[in-house]
Copies of this chain bind each other. A is one copy, B any other.
Amino acid sequence: MSTISSRMAVAVHVLAYLAWRRDEPITSERMASSVNTNPVVVRRIMGSLRNAGLVSVQPGVGGGAQLAREPEDITLLEVYRAVEEKEELFAMHSEPCRHCDIGGHIREVLHGVFCNAHQAMQGVLAQVTIADVFREVRQQATGCVGAKPEPHAAVQHA
């Protein structure tokens, strides 16, 4: 039932927003307004993205966050690794009986399969960049009836 946390979704959303407003610093309040959450939640995620070298943040008047790299150079895999410090996708059961044929070696076998599955998932994320996401979002937006042809004219969460 438990899913990977929505930090991933929020992080990609924010990075796409920063790619949209590529040249100006964006405050956590503006980002939170677009994501519809609390500014502290955004700042927590920005901390992870900053540690990963994906964004640069400036405090003070006129401060905010900006992309530290080009949107084409930021893959969703980097975002995933920045906001989910998880080493394994699947949890292993703790201490199976080591004296029987199954319990003694099941963990090594499972570890191999689980690693393959995790890497396959990460392989998909590695092939998508923030620029891809931003482009697809814009395409969807302009494809709608009544959509504005100039995205910069949209609501800016001022």
Please report A residues at the B interface, Cβ cutoff 8 Å: 1-6, 8-10, 12-13, 16-17, 20, 33-37, 76, 84-86, 88-97, 99-110, 112-113, 116-118, 120-125, 128, 133, 136-138, 140-141, 151, 154-157
Residues of the B chain whose Cβ atoms lie less than 8 Å from the Cβ of A110: 9, 12-13, 133
Alpha-carbon distance A99/B113, docked complex (angstroms): 43
Copies of this protein chain in the complex: 2
Residues of the B chain whose Cβ atoms lie less than 8 Å from the Cβ of A120: 120-121, 123-124
5 pairs, CB–CB < 8 Å, chain A vs chain B: A1-B5, A1-B85, A9-B90, A97-B155, A101-B141
Alpha-carbon distance A30/B92, docked complex (angstroms): 20
Alpha-carbon distance A2/B4, docked complex (angstroms): 7
Contact assessment for A99 and B6 in the assembled complex, using a CB-CB cutoff below 8 Å: no
Beyond known contacts A3-B88, A12-B110: 7 more, CB 8 A cutoff: A3-B91, A4-B90, A9-B90, A34-B97, A35-B96, A100-B157, A104-B140
A21 → chain B closest CB, angstroms? 9
- Asked, given contacts A89-B3, A133-B113, A155-B100, whether A95 binds B141 with beta carbons under 8 Å apart, the answer is no
Alpha-carbon distance A140/B133, docked complex (angstroms): 44
Contact assessment for B105 and A137 in the assembled complex, using a CB-CB cutoff below 8 Å: yes
